[in-house]
Chains A and B, each alone.
Chain A
Amino acid sequence: QPLLTQPPSASGTPGQRITISCSGGTSNIGRNTVNWFQQLPGAAPKLLIYKNNEWPSGVPDRFSGSKSGTSASLAISGLQSEDEADYYCAAWDDHLNGLMFGGGTQVTVL
């Protein structure tokens, strides 16, 4: 099943800002909005960003999203130890008629 493309890992020190990229195509990111999900170890995924750059209630504004063309990115500012998790981008795909996920990025706080 096709995937959106994410780097497998990213890392930073506490307080640092890191970014995670997500690359897709015209049938997904190019035409539809991007979501980001955070998955802590052993837990279900949690919605972090929707509609490219909007936060659900309760998500700190240290997390921010952006989209340009067929790519998107998630930025985490003021990195904290509790941000260690897997992060997934996802966008509706018009060919699939379902949500297409990225392969996930494991974030490590050094």
Chain B
Amino acid sequence: QVQLVQSGAEVKKPGASVKVSCKTSGYTFTGHYMHWVRQAPGQGLEWVAWIDPSTGGSNSAPKFKGRVTMSRDTSITTAYLDLSSLTSDDTAVYYCARLNSTRSYRTYDYWGQGTLVIVSS
């Protein structure tokens, strides 16, 4: 069965960087884009970025450009989100989500359990 298992919670100081991992199993890793979505405390869902595990190509939301780096290791079917220059506004739960897409639709059919990132001095 498809599983996305994320790394554990992180506490970081302002200005630092954080790297969150998403270990996948149960499907062909390079066959589906991986997206990252975050949720600040008490707030809604916000799309952050995606990576194509096959090519390494990626894209991020405008507000994260220059601060976010997506990477993957196909040998261990794991995707990574690296966010730098952290501020308290980056405190959130970060989810990885598998994109299932065809010509007629795009959806997230599987989600990781989430990784809490706390930015505090």
Contacts and interface: CB of A to CB of B under 8 A. Distances in A.
Interface string A26-66: 00000011010101000011110011000010000000000
A103 B95 CA distance: 17
Contacts of A1: 46-47, 61-63
B57 to A, nearest CB: 11
Interface stretch (A12-20, A74-82, A91-99): A91-99
A47 B108 contact: yes
Nearest to B101: A92
A102 B108 CA distance: 15
Interface residues of A, number: 27
Interface string B90-106: 00000101001000111
A33 B105 CA distance: 6
Given A44-B113, A46-B111, A33 B45 contact: no
A51 B107 contact: yes
B26 interface: no
Given A99-B35, A99-B108, A45 B45 contact: yes
A1 B48 CA distance: 10
Contacts of B109: 47, 50, 56
Contact of A102 (B44, B59, B63, B113): B44
Contacts of B14: none
Interface in B11-59: 35, 37, 44-47, 49-50, 59
A100 interface: yes
B105 A50 contact: yes
Contacts of A32: 105-106
Given A1-B63, A88-B45, 18 more contacts: A1-B46, A1-B47, A33-B107, A37-B108, A44-B111, A44-B112, A44-B113, A45-B45, A45-B95, A45-B97, A88-B44, A92-B106, A96-B61, A98-B35, A98-B47, A99-B35, A101-B45, A104-B45
6 contacts: A32-B105, A32-B106, A50-B107, A51-B105, A98-B61, A101-B45
4 A-B pairs with least C-beta separation = A50-B107, A51-B105, A104-B44, A33-B105
